[in-house]
């Protein structure tokens, strides 16, 4: 059973990474519609994360421990992700609109962007590995939610690296290399949880905190900054993400 679950884990991560990469490449090629594509897929991804957190991860964690204690772990995950974002991904936004001032600065910014992407993918691997400790369906749902969020994120990373002087092929290779962090971390968490009896309930609660943080503090506030018409469309996409993943969770009986 453990071997089968591990095979599903690897297959899910590889498929999710391929989906994110394919979606990112398709949106990257459609340069005229790139901005609107990001604006629409980001809230859908946020909805998918929220549905996975509230319909799947938190209920599963409550089966394994005291709900009050596990909600504290959820808050810990929320806070931890905030700290990690401050230390790793802040430069994506910090440098996004800055002028380019030479080859040396471009190279430094590329290293920062790739390092941040590795850490972000490692966090994704943590969440996926923890989910597969519960069951294969929970792991698949979590991977799908992560992938829905990753597509617009990867497009943003692609755009930043291209603006810093890398060619399309180099950017794709870098994306594939950083995606290994997801596989390595997910596999490591799964093995540690299976052999060392890691507390699965708190791990799921922390993962739910990650998801809630990304949706509530990073994506949803952006919706409020849009025009009324575009904001309304994004609201619909957010609800669509919740309904889609929530329905899938219900159908799978997770």
Split into its structural domains, the chain has a count of 1
pLDDT tens-digit series, residues 27-52: 666 666 667 777 777 888 888 889 99
If DSSP codes are grouped into helix, strand and coil, which group holds residue 161?
A: helix
| Residue environment code for 21-52, b if the CB has 16+ CB neighbours within 10 A, otherwise e | bebbbebbeeeeebeebbbbbbbbbbbbbbbb
Q: How far is CA 142 from CA 3, 16, 251, in A?
A: 19, 10, 15
The DSSP string of 197-212 is ---HHHHHHHHHHHHH
pLDDT tens-digit series, residues 114-151: 777 788 788 889 989 989 988 898 899 999 888 887 77
* Domain assignment of residue 216, given as a range: 2-252
Overall pTM > 0.85: no
Estimate to the nearest angstrom the gap between the alpha carbon of 135 and the chain centroid.
19
Spatial neighbors of 221 by CB under 8 A, at least 6 apart, are none
If DSSP codes are grouped into helix, strand and coil, which group holds residue 166?
A: coil
- What pLDDT score does 43 carry? 87
The DSSP symbol for 71 reads H
pLDDT tens-digit series, residues 83-115: 877 765 544 444 444 444 556 666 776 777 777
Q: Half-sphere exposure of 102 toward its Cβ, with a 13 Å CA cutoff?
A: 2
C-alpha span between 195 and 203 (Å, rounded) = 15
Question: To which H or E segment does residue 243 belong?
Answer: helix 228-252
C-alpha span between 93 and 118 (Å, rounded) = 16
How far is the first Cα of the chain from the last one, in angstroms, to the nearest whole number? 18
- What pLDDT score does 26 carry? 72
Task: Name the burial class of residue 15, with classes exposed (0-12), middle (13-18) and buried (19+) by CB atoms within 10 angstroms of its CB.
Answer: middle
Asked if residue 76 lies in contact with residue 252, where contact means CB atoms within 8 angstroms, the answer is no
Asked if residue 185 lies in contact with residue 125, where contact means CB atoms within 8 angstroms, the answer is yes
- What pLDDT score does 100 carry? 45
């Amino acid at each position: 059973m453990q071997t089968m679950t591990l095979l599903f884990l690897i297959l899910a991560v590889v498929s999710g990474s391929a989906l994110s990469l394919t979606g990112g490449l398709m949106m990257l090629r459609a340069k005229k519609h790139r901005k609107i594509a990001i604006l629409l897929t980001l809230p859908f991804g946020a909805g998918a994360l929220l549905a996975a957190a509230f319909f799947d991860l938190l209920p599963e964690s409550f089966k394994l421990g005291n709900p009050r204690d596990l909600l504290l772990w959820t808050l810990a995950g929320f806070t931890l992700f905030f700290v990690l974002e401050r230390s790793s991904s802040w430069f994506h936004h910090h440098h996004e609109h800055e002028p380019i001032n030479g080859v040396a600065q471009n190279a430094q910014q590329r290293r920062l962007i790739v390092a941040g992407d590795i850490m972000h993918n490692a966090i994704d691997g943590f969440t996926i590995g923890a989910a597969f400790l519960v069951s294969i369906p929970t792991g698949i749902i979590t991977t799908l939610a992560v992938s829905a969020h990753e597509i617009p994120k990867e497009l943003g990373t692609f755009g930043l690296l291209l603006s810093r002087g890398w060619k399309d092929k180099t950017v794709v290779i870098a994306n594939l290399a950083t995606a290994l962090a997801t596989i390595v971390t997910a596999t490591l968490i799964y093995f540690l949880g299976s052999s060392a009896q890691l507390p699965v309930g708190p791990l799921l609660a922390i993962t739910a905190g990650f998801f809630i943080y990304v949706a509530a503090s990073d994506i949803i506030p952006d919706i409020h900054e849009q025009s009324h018409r575009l904001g309304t469309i994004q609201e619909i996409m957010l609800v669509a993400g919740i309904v889609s993943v929530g329905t899938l969770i219900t159908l799978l009986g997770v």
